[in-house]
């Protein structure tokens, strides 16, 4: 199939458009609940070859979606969230690969999620939307692969929660992944990670505008809670050094107000990030995504033995971490590496010295991109 969106613009993929796929085969979720039918929105860049062997799946993180690269005709400023790595001559080279981005089930960017209408009630799903987990996303993505004619991904790649999906792909569909690229991720969340997620969720759950998750029908949105959740999350995405360098103790208006309005630049920045996010993101999706993070722990299937789980994989692996990432520190990536080494898999590990904490994985850094590029060049399209 050809779904080329490339305009010939050498700086990236150029104009793109989102597509929608409807699935009406029921999907049994890990929780035991069943999604009778659902939609997934996705985007593709590049051209799938005749054998369907050159496809790369890009999995998104907590707040991501299917719009990875390029821009829309009617929204020229809406550039994809990982545009810097996708395009002709870039590591995810659209001259060579067919790149697929999909908005996960439960998302709020077009795929079926809590804000969608539940056909059973005619009202938004809200609190009734089933809990989705990483393995559920992988199963739903596999159905999208079937639809697109992709038997085996050349690579599945993702950062953070996206990296966890890539890891999950490698052991859930070992025959369908040739290379797995896991960036700034962890094999499971620590108590501290879960604690941060809990505070974020509590901010949303206790917002009076939350209405037990059914705020849509009240014409309300738990903006305050979502804003706080995002502010907290944002602190954990950045490094202390980077915050210090960027904001330090800088004052917004040059002097202290002796009140509780914004004095420091970091406050101004966090408020801006919180407002921006709370303005468009769906709080129920945020709850689901953070819970999917909490629940991710593939080693559970083998009584905590990650090596035993990773033995199922047949793909090559590239594991990448960032020195200043304290949300999922290099030590967490090393846990994945250790298990892959013990399972005698083909694995390389790069620990990249970048200053931007967890968010480093989105940076347009030449060395970081060379590592991805070098690894992908080994993968036969």
Partner 1 sequence: MNPAAAKTLANRSDWNIIASWVQPGERVLDLGCGDGSLLKLLIEERGARGYGVEIDAQGVLASIRNGINVVQTDIDHGLAEFKDNAFEHVVLSRTLQTVRHTENTLREMLRVGREAVVSVPNFGYWKNRQAVLNGRMPVSEDLPYQWYDTPNVRFFTLADFEALCEQMGIVVRTREVLDDSGKPVLEEHNFLGSLGVYRIAKG
Instruction: Give contact residues for partner 1 (rule: CB under 8 A).
Output: 318, 334, 337-338, 341-342, 344, 346-353, 367, 370-371, 374-375, 377-378
Coil, strand, or helix at residue 133? coil
Nearer to partner 1, 19 or 334 (CB): 334
Taking the complex as a whole, the smallest distance from the CB of residue 271 to partner 1 amounts, in Å, to 37
Taking the complex as a whole, the smallest distance from the CB of residue 321 to partner 1 amounts, in Å, to 9
Taking the complex as a whole, the smallest distance from the CB of residue 87 to partner 1 amounts, in Å, to 21
Nearer to partner 1, 130 or 330 (CB): 330
DSSP 307-340: HHHHTT--SEEEEEEETT--SS-HHHHHHHHHHH
Nearer to partner 1, 111 or 321 (CB): 321
Q: How far is CA 367 from CA 88, 157, 317, 354, 361, in A?
A: 18, 17, 18, 10, 12
Determine the Cα–Cα distance for residues 369 and 91; give it in Å rounded to an integer. 6
DSSP 45-90: ES---TTS--EEEEE--TT--S--SSBBTTBTT---TTGGGBSTTS
Taking the complex as a whole, the smallest distance from the CB of residue 376 to partner 1 amounts, in Å, to 10
Give the residue numbers annotated as catalytic, written as ranges. 160, 325, 358
Determine the Cα–Cα distance for residues 115 and 352; give it in Å rounded to an integer. 38
Nearer to partner 1, 15 or 374 (CB): 374
Residue with tokens 């609940």: 33
């Amino acid at each position: 199939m050809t779904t080329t969106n490339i305009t010939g613009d050498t700086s990236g993929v150029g104009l793109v458009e989102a597509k929608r796929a409807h699935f009406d085969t029921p999907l049994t979720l890990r929780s035991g609940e069943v999604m009778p039918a659902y939609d997934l929105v996705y985007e593709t860049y590049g051209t799938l070859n005749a054998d369907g062997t050159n496809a790369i799946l890009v999995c998104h993180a907590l707040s991501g979606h299917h719009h990875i690269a390029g821009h829309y005709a009617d929204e020229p400023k809406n550039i994809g969230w990982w545009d810097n790595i996708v395009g002709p001559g870039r590591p995810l080279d659209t001259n060579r690969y067919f790149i697929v981005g999909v908005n996960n089930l439960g998302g709020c960017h077009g795929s079926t999620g809590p804000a969608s209408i539940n056909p059973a009630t005619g009202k938004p799903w809200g609190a009734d939307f089933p809990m989705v987990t990483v393995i559920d996303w992988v199963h739903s993505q596999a159905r999208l692969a079937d639809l697109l004619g992709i038997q085996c991904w050349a690579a599945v790649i993702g950062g953070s929660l996206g990296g966890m999906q890539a890891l999950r792909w490698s052991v859930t569909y070992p025959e369908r992944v040739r290379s797995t690229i896991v960036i700034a991720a962890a094999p499971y969340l620590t108590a501290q990670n879960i604690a941060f997620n809990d505070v974020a969720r509590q901010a949303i759950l206790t917002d009076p505008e939350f209405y037990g998750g059914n705020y849509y029908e009240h014409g309300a949105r738990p903006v305050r809670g979502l804003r706080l959740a995002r502010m907290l999350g944002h602190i954990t995405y950045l490094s202390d050094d980077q915050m210090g360098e960027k904001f330090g103790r800088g004052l917004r208006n040059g002097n202290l107000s002796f009140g509780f309005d914004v004095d420091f630049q970091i406050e101004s920045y966090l408020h801006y990030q919180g407002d921006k996010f709370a303005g468009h993101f769906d709080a129920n999706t945020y709850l689901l995504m953070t819970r999917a993070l909490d629940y991710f722990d593939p080693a559970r299937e083998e009584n905590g033995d990650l090596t035993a789980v990773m033995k199922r994989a047949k793909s090559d692996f590239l594991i990448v971490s960032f020195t200043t990432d304290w949300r999922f520190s290099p030590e967490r990536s090393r846990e994945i590496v250790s298990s892959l080494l013990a399972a005698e898999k083909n694995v390389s590990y790069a620990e990249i010295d970048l200053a931007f904490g967890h968010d480093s994985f989105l940076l347009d850094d030449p060395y970081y991109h060379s590592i991805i590029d070098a690894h992908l060049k080994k993968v036969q399209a």
